[in-house]
Structure 1
Amino acid sequence: MHRIVFLDSATLAEGVVLPRPRFPHEWTNFASTAPQDIVARAQGAQIVVTNKVPFDAATIAALPDLRLIAIAATGFDHIDLAAARAAGIAVTNIRGYSVDSVPEHVLALILALKRQILPYVADVRAGAWQTAGQFALHTHSIKDLRGKRLGLFGSGSLGQRVAELGKAFGMEPVFAGRKGARARPGTLEFEEVMATSDVLSLHCPLNAETENMIAGPEFALMRKKPLLINTARGGLVDEAALERALDDGLVSGAGIDVTRPEPPPMDSAIMRLAQRPNVLVTPHIAWASLEAQQTLADQLGAVLAAFVKGERMNRLD
């Protein structure tokens, strides 16, 4: 009998069906779990499912029965992989489930910002159309996507799909090499992409190499006053530096779906940014179409079944 505990099941929307394993098991769901409750709730479990509940070395050491940490997401920066490996605990994640949801959200943010959708909707609701004196209202400058350079940071499945969608709109997608390294074939130098792009979109993991990847020095490189789109991880962008860059006109706008921490404090830079007409902040839902969430749930069921069979599906350890 395998005891399975899902520590933050409310991270999946209502209506998403999580397939239950066919092997003998006892399954417990917790809608959310505070850090101080992790050990008590996971004690005695062989399998823990977590979306964003963190597992550091101390937590892992306090759970001697644990054999699998199954991440119900792709990102794994909240798990101490070295500690899990040392304790003989397998770690898995979910892959490729949001290859439509995230890229579509990226394009939605780009289009909404370039075409000033929200400011124009606000104007209509305020009655500005009626007072314009003509058939069209010209209170905000609209820009097309055709011919614009789309700089992509991260060339995995999400970055590649965003490139495809951008190309369909007539954009020129280019992939950036790693910061501080020579560009590999198929990429341009990191600094060149920063300097020459009209839109920048982030699709890379958060780690020691990418933390605050875009901060003051990088904003200073941006000659074309681009849009900055981040649907990857909040820690990739220095939010205070982004606020200053917007103040100084170094970027023309931003679409932000991820912050650090999540949710952000009400007095944080990101919440101040959310009040600006040229910034769209969404609550980490780029990944969360119902189709993507169901794909995630189905894959999670397959990962658990594979682990019990001794198969190495989606292993990170």
Structure 2
Amino acid sequence: MPPTPARPRAVFLDALSLGPVDLSPLESWAELEAWPVTAPEQRLERLVGAAIAITNKIPLDGALLHQLPDLRLICTASTGTDQLDLGACRELGIAVRNAGAYSRASVVQVTWALILELATRIQARRDRVRCGDWQHSPVFALVEPEFDELQGQRLVVVGAGDIGRGVLAIGAAFGMETVGLTSRSSAAEVEAALRSADVVSLHAPLTAASAGLINAERLGWLKPTALLVNLGRGGLVDTGALVEALRQGRLAGAALDVLSQEPPGPELEPLLQVPNLILTPHMGWTSRQARGRLVQTLAAHLQDYARSSAGAGV
């Protein structure tokens, strides 16, 4: 059955990025073509004639969008929209809808899993058990490596939106002092917060203003006992400067769930050797429940478009 105004043609360019998830809710409102992955040179041929494009991380630039006169809606299977040329979308009258707050609980949970691992070094203790240190200990408990309580420490969240506020709430439950920074925070506020921070958690979107936000200068403001976690975007952190800070002992530890290049290439190998650096594969958003909510949000966007198009007689 060909697409109709009530069932417009929709193309999902990188459906594999959602993992094993049921896409049938999307098919209730559109004639869906779901491609596992799409190479840059395949974008145009797959999107020609489509009214709706769905992308997680496949970039849609202005040069491409100008060749797609039928495209009326782009849905990002993500909270961020940095993969889109938003100026071109406005110029061409293409509506943009993101996935909203679908991943809040998932990202908050993974953020705290990483903070707690950095703070308590559970893996180091598992390693000591595996190698027999506990079994051969003359006392009942292994104290080292030592760790400090989070209670009374200062948590600074950069990007205190929906997810950031969730991270702050958990910090408060641990008895931490909490500080939330947003794009409206002044330079003086940012500097004062970073200088006083014990734990810094990044959740800001990647924009021209936030790119390289944590650079060599700002890493120098942090205490040598501070911890840094990034579940925002890889481009928020100057990775080279972070590596140097960790190697020189100017920062106690860091965890990166995101990198500037994803998936990473050969540049990842040196990072695996950096002391006190945890790397995870952009997993913060990927709980089963979050991915289910994501599909439902996309379906709602398709539903709104199908109904509005039918009402307008498009």
Q: Tell me if both proteins adopt one fold, taking TM over 0.5 as the criterion.
A: yes
In 2 relative to 1, CA 18–106 (structure 1 residues): closer, same or farther, beyond 3 Å? farther
Residue 67 of structure 2 aligns with which residue?
A: 62
1-side partners of 2:209 and 2:134: how far apart? 49
Q: What is the CA RMSD across the aligned residues, in angstroms?
A: 1.8
Match of 2:135 in 1: 130
In the alignment, residue 306 of structure 1 is paired with which amino acid?
Answer: D
Aligned residue among 124, 127, 140 for 1:119: 124
Q: In proportion to residue count, which structure has more helix?
A: 2
CA offsets per residue over residues 56-80 of structure 1, 9 Å max, x none? 1111112222111111111111100
One of 153, 161, 164 as aligned partner of 1:156: 161
1:80 is aligned to 85
What TM-score do you get using the length of structure 2 for normalisation?
A: 0.91
Which of residues 10, 13, 21 in structure 2 aligns to 1:7? Answer: 13
1:162-188 residue CA offsets vs partner (Å, 9 max, x unmatched): 1111111111111235498356xxxxx
* C-alpha separation in 1, matches of 2:278 and 2:145: 16
Mark the runs of 5 or more structure 1 residues left unpaired by the alignment. 184-188, 312-317
Which structure 2 segments of 5+ residues have no match? 310-314
TM superposition shift of 1:237: 0.2
Give, in whole Å, the separation in 2 of the partners of 1:169 and 1:118. Answer: 21
Contact 1:177-1:190 at 8 Å conserved across structures = no
Structure 1 moving runs of 4+ over 4 Å: 177-180
- What amino acid is the match of 2:225? K
Partner deviation per Cα, 1:185-204 (whole Å, 9 max, x = no partner): xxxx1001110010000111
Distance 1:137 1:233, change over 3 A: same
Are the aligned partners of 2:10 and 2:51 in contact in 1 as well (CA < 8 Å)?
yes
Q: Offset of 1:118 from its aligned partner? A: 1.3
Matched with 1:169 is 174
Q: Would you say the 8 A contact 1:167–1:173 is kept in 2?
A: yes
Would you say the 8 A contact 2:14–2:56 is kept in 1? Answer: yes
Aligned length: 303
Q: Classify 1:21/1:28 alpha carbon distance in 2 versus 1 (closer, same or farther; 3 Å).
A: closer
| AA partner of residue 10 (structure 2) | I
Give the counterpart letter for 1:282 in structure 2.
T
Does the Cα contact within 8 Å between 1:234 and 1:259 map onto a contact in 2?
Answer: yes
1:112 CA drift (Å):
1.0
Q: Which residue of 1 aligns with 2:280?
A: 282
TM-score by length of 1: 0.90
Equivalent of 1:310, from 277, 290, 308? 308
SS at match of 1:91: strand
CA distances 1:217-256 after superposition (whole Å, capped 9, x unpaired)? 0011113531100000000000000001101222110111
Q: C-alpha separation between the residues in 2 aligned to 1:233 and 1:210?
A: 10
Distance 1:113 1:16, change over 3 A: farther
Q: What is the Cα deviation at residue 134 of structure 1? A: 2.7
| CA apart distance, 1:277 | 5.1
SS in 2 for 1:70: strand
Percent of residue pairs identical: 40
Counterpart for residue 293 of structure 1: 291
Distance 1:264 1:179, change over 3 A: farther
The aligned amino acid for 2:47 is A
1:227 matched to 2:246: no
Matching residue's letter, 1:207: T
- Partner SS state of residue 308, structure 2: coil
Offset at 1:303?
Answer: 0.8
The residue number in structure 1 matching 2:34 is 29
Cα separation, 2, equivalents of 1:78 and 1:109:
26
